[in-house]
Amino acid sequence: MPPRVNRSPYAGIALAVLSVSWASIFITWSTSPAITIALYRLGLATLILAGVLLARLFVSGTRPLKGLPRRDLLIMAGIGAILATHFTLWISSLKVPQESIAASVVLVTSHPLMVGLLSHFVLKERLNKWMAVGILVGFSGVVVIALSNYGPGGSLLYADGLAFAGGIMAGFYFLAGRRLRQRVALLDYAFVVYACATAVLFLYAVVLGQSLTPVGNPDTELLLFLALAVVPQLGGHTLYNWSLRYVPAPVVSLSLVGEPVGSSLLAWVILSQVPTAGVGLGAGLALLGIYLTVYGQGTRTREILVTRDVE
């Protein structure tokens, strides 16, 4: 009798890709400002995690945040600020009229290119040939997307810049959390980071004069915010973190490009957003570059994706 093949991790990755692909759709459906959306998404996710941690305390006696040194807590607070800025930039790009989900999601998912460069120049982790080629091809795709969206008024170029800046912040987010996540439990890490990100988003909203309440139909908006917190933020990324422990690195690499593809297909079917030829070509180059870069990172792939809590 042939040995049993455990397909659960692969099913988990497939479901996670589908879950995170819905994030841009929910955001597009919302009529609230970008910072308001991010504030409620992370705020609700924080409340849900708080409930889970309390349940663990009463059921098993496991104390949340037990033994965490103050230094780690301060680092996680800084990571939360980076995450809040990432969401502010990326969601703002989706709120620019006529900006396509395909362009925005591909650009914000280009963070492995940033991580590769920062690892090389900051952490002195040398690039191998796959990573070097991947970064070159990936950035060429980013340039093609930007050039294809360059036009009168520059609004789409502005949106692309916001998404790309969001990707840069995601790169810093991953680098900052990569080693910390090796010694801090996932739920503890996510709770502190999300809570701090929520606090920073609240400050952003106050300083920039953004609404602290949903704009539009309150019931619809709160339902969309809850969907964002549960489906892509908690459900999708929790499955990623579990599944990536059990699959080969190439599968992990391929899964990373799944979200832009999934989001683009959903936008095509649901919102009738058909990418232009330029965006399609640029997206193809960028996704190929992202795949090659993450593939070249080999065993470090899981470390980079283990904190994948952003899109």
Domain assignment present for residue 165? The answer is yes
Domain for residue 12, yes or no? no
94 occurs within a structural domain? yes
Query: What pLDDT score does 187 carry?
Result: 87
Q: What is the pLDDT of residues 266-288, one digit of tens each?
A: 999 999 998 889 999 999 999 99
Look at residue 150 in the predicted model and tell me its pLDDT.
73
Q: How many other β-carbons are positioned within 10 Å of the β-carbon of residue 308?
A: 22
Is residue 17 included in any domain, yes or no? no
Q: How many folded domains does the chain comprise?
A: 1
Distance between CA atoms of 216 and 218, rounded to whole angstroms?
A: 6
| C-alpha–C-alpha distance, residues 131 and 126, integer Å | 9
Q: What is the domain extent for residue 107?
A: 29-305
Contact (CB, 8 A) for 96 and 162? yes
Q: Is residue 263 within a helix (H) or strand (E), and if so which, with residue range? A: helix 258-271
Give the helix ranges, DSSP H, for the chain. 8-21, 23-29, 34-60, 70-94, 101-108, 111-121, 129-148, 155-178, 186-208, 218-228, 237-243, 249-256, 258-271, 277-296, 301-305
Residue 80 CB burial class (10 angstroms; 0-12, 13-18, ≥19): buried
pLDDT of residue 92: 97
Q: What is the DSSP string of 78-117?
A: HHHHHHHHHHHHHHHHHTSTT--HHHHHHHHTTHHHHHHH
Alpha-carbon distance 138 to 143, whole Å? 9
For the chain, give the mean pLDDT.
86
For the record, the structure tokens of 266 come out as 């959903």
How many whole angstroms separate alpha carbon 154 and alpha carbon 158?
6
| 16 occurs within a structural domain | no
pLDDT one-digit tens code per residue, 136-164: 999 999 999 988 877 655 678 899 999 99
Structure tokens at 162: 């916001």
How many degrees, rounded to 5, is the angle at CA 171 between CA 166 and CA 172? Answer: 100
Q: Could you tell me if residue 310 is inside a domain?
A: no
Neighbours of 253 (CB within 10 A): 23
Phi and psi torsions of 155, nearest 5°: -65, -40
| 8 lies in some domain | no
Does residue 108 form part of some domain? yes
Walk along the chain (311 residues) in steps of 10 and give the mean pLDDT of each run.
56 86 96 98 96 90 85 95 96 93 91 79 78 90 86 76 92 81 84 96 97 96 97 82 64 73 93 91 92 74 55 54
